[in-house]
Each structure stands twice: as C-alpha cells, then as structure tokens.
Amino acid sequence: MRCDEIKEGLVDLLYDERRTRHADPEVRAHIQSCPSCQQELEELGGVRAALRLWTDEAPLRPVALPTPRKPASGWVVFWPVARRVAMAAAVLLAFLALTNAEVSWEKGRFSFRTSLLPAAASGSNYYTKSETRDLVSRALDDTESRVTETNYLMMQRMMDTMDQERWSEMRLVIARGNDSRIKN
C-alpha cells in the first residue's frame, strides 16, 4: 500500500475504528515498517491528547444580550401581520382550488359548493370529431406551408453563400494570374 492511501485513514486507526479497512493487519504492518507513517500517527496521537486536556475558559466579563426595542412606528408592526394574513389567504385560495370550490352570489343569495372531483362539463365545451379533424387539418396545412417557406429561404441563403464564395475564389484566381504575369 502507498503512504498517501494509509495517511487518509490514520484518524480512523487512531480512534480504533474496527469497521474500516484501515484497521487491517496489512495497514498496521505498513505503519510499523514506515517511519513517515509512524511519525504522522504519533503526531495525531499528540493532538488527540492535547484536545482531551483542553477546557473552556469562562468569559472575562458577562455577555449582555441586547433587549428588543419597541417599534418606532405602526408600519413596523403592520408588515409582519400583513405577511401572515397574505400567507393565510394564499393557503385558503390553494385549498379552495384543490377542492374545486364554486362560490356564487345570485339575487341576494350566497352559494358555496366543493367537490374533490371537478364538475362534469357541458357538451358545448368539447369539440366534435369533424371540428377536431378540421382544426388538425388546418394546423397541419399551416405547418407544411411554414416548413416549405423556411426550406425555400434556407436554400436561397445557401445559394447566395455559394455564389459569394465562387466570386471570391474567382477574384483570388484572377489576382494570382495577374501576379504571375507581372513576374514574367
């Protein structure tokens, strides 16, 4: 075993942790044969002994905790109360939403009803098969036209880029040709 692997577990070995791999006889044999690991273990033992002797000293003077001051104005008291009221209202609204609450006020009469399952919706809230088919057909047609237009624009950009590259290469060839004529 290497010393750096063993030094990782020296504290476990120092506290005689038997459930760790560092308590193996192989590790103990390495420590007996390696002066560096022995010295490290002895130093850790010295630190452990020094920590056992350490005692906490009493403070030089008593510690005075500050007393809470009275609020300067009514606003300081108002905000914590307002926060709690807002949190209570949010909890109440969440509870009403989860229980599918229905509250109504009609002709001076108050009505409140809750249920765990949502009320059955009327038939007018659903699409018929033909309406659904028409909606899907329109969406597909719209998607197809957008894809076609996008592809056309991408192809046009690609052609413009290829033309620009071809002209820049043509200018380069012409410039090199002119350079070679001048040298001859």
What DSSP character marks residue 99?
A: T
The identity of residue 110, as a single letter, is F
Do 88 and 110 belong together in one domain?
yes
Domain final residue pick, 68, 95, 119: 119
Residue 22 burial (CB count, 10 A): 22
Instruction: For residues 114-143, give the mean pLDDT.
Output: 79
Domain membership flag for residue 75: no
Do 108 and 144 belong together in one domain?
no
Domain membership flag for residue 174: yes
Do 138 and 178 belong together in one domain?
yes
Q: Would you state the pLDDT for residue 146?
A: 92
Do 115 and 130 belong together in one domain?
no
**What is the spatial distance between Cα 42 and Cα 145, in angstroms, rounded to a whole number?**
81
Quick: pLDDT tens for 37-61: 888 888 888 888 888 888 877 767 7
Domain membership flag for residue 176: yes
Q: Would you state the pLDDT for residue 59?
A: 67
Domain membership flag for residue 61: no
The residues pairing with 111 across neighbouring beta strands, listed in sequence order, are: 104
Do 136 and 165 belong together in one domain?
yes
Domain membership flag for residue 15: yes
Domain membership flag for residue 64: no
Domain final residue pick, 100, 119, 138: 119
Do 151 and 179 belong together in one domain?
yes
Instruction: Provide the domain limits for residue 99.
Output: 83-119
**What is the spatial distance between Cα 177 and Cα 171, in angstroms, rounded to a whole number?**
10
Q: Which of 77, 74, 76, 9 is nearest to 37 (CA)?
A: 9
Domain final residue pick, 119, 145, 167: 119
Do 109 and 144 belong together in one domain?
no
Q: How many domains does the chain have?
A: 3
Give the pair of three-digit tokens for residue 135: 């909606």
CB-side neighbour CA atoms (13 Å) of 50: 6
Quick: pLDDT tens for 141-179: 999 999 999 999 999 999 999 999 999 999 999 888 887
Do 107 and 156 belong together in one domain?
no
Domain membership flag for residue 66: no
Cβ atoms of residues 117 and 99 within 8 Å: no
CA 62, 64, 65, 67 dihedral sign is positive
Do 130 and 179 belong together in one domain?
yes
Domain membership flag for residue 92: yes
For the full predicted model, state whether its pTM sits above 0.85: no
Do 145 and 163 belong together in one domain?
yes
